[in-house]
Structure 1
């Protein structure tokens, strides 16, 4: 990132620039970057667009920024409505507050979601925390998974050492649950310690397993302990 650095790039309002290597890139308004961007710091305040890949150390989208390519770097934060058309690969943290859309896979050491997120393919992290809604088209894999549901979420498969899913419900939930369901839908959940609520799964497989209220599970396989809430539906149980 040293050779060919052009200093800082700032676009205020309407404007466009070619890609390249920069120290700091800042888009205020509706700025457009045509080409791949490599920089230390990237900021998008408004509805800026990068037509290419973004490689950086730290990036933040505040507003409705778009990256029409892949993102690679250390830390990436979306506050508002941000989208990446390809994959995101980070060495540290991904934080999404608001609405985010990723057209490929997402990989980071720590992923924290507050809002609504769509990830087209796999999602991989050491720790994954979500407070809201999400759709993951592939495998969610993390050592620690902590989910607080707001509405409906879905993932194809989920695996980790510790997995907790809690259904966040308001005091009038039972009156309106037909219109505002709180549910995680998944084909397979596999891990060591599992605590599940409001989860609909084909197979749940673990060591110590707790099936909490509002769960609908076709098959539970466990090795150590199993606890099932009275308000949970489990079709078949196997100790392996």
Structure 2
């Protein structure tokens, strides 16, 4: 081997040794390489999509159809006479609108005087027993015009209407006459005119208009259970 060949071989070996030493230094600095296969399965990171959050809310229940409401019976069509009667009642039931210039006022007992006026508006005519001079003085009217008990006796004797008890509410209609015995002594203490009959299922609620306790839609039930507990209601069915 010539001198130049020995020099080249020495240079090559030195280069190889230098590269190897460099690799060892780099490996020492970076640490041992991690294995890509440890033999154990990797654990996936939990995400909202992979594992839904637990909730305490109960499962949503599909609503069922509500129970059918009780049927409401439609109000019957009223005649022109009853319409005129209702118009009069609703125009004059309040104290400020009493028609006192023509019919007068019976102090704090004006209920029958007002009911009689409403029956005139409906088409009834006066006679020798039931009448008013229409002069603005209610005390000049006949007893049947201004007394609940006398009015009851007058209707019964003339047959102008049919008597009904409170157990016959299914026959009561708008425009009928309502009377009350507050103390159940057999007479009549108050009179009004039926202005509303509401039939919902088996329940019938009746309202009336009147003076004394001025009202347009006063509840019969309230009158006999709250205002006068234990009182009794009666009706006259007017054809």
State the TM-score, normalizing by the size of structure 1. 0.19
Higher strand content, 1 or 2: 1
State the TM-score, normalizing by the size of structure 2. 0.19
Q: Larger relative contact order (C-alpha < 8 A, sep ≥ 6)?
A: 2
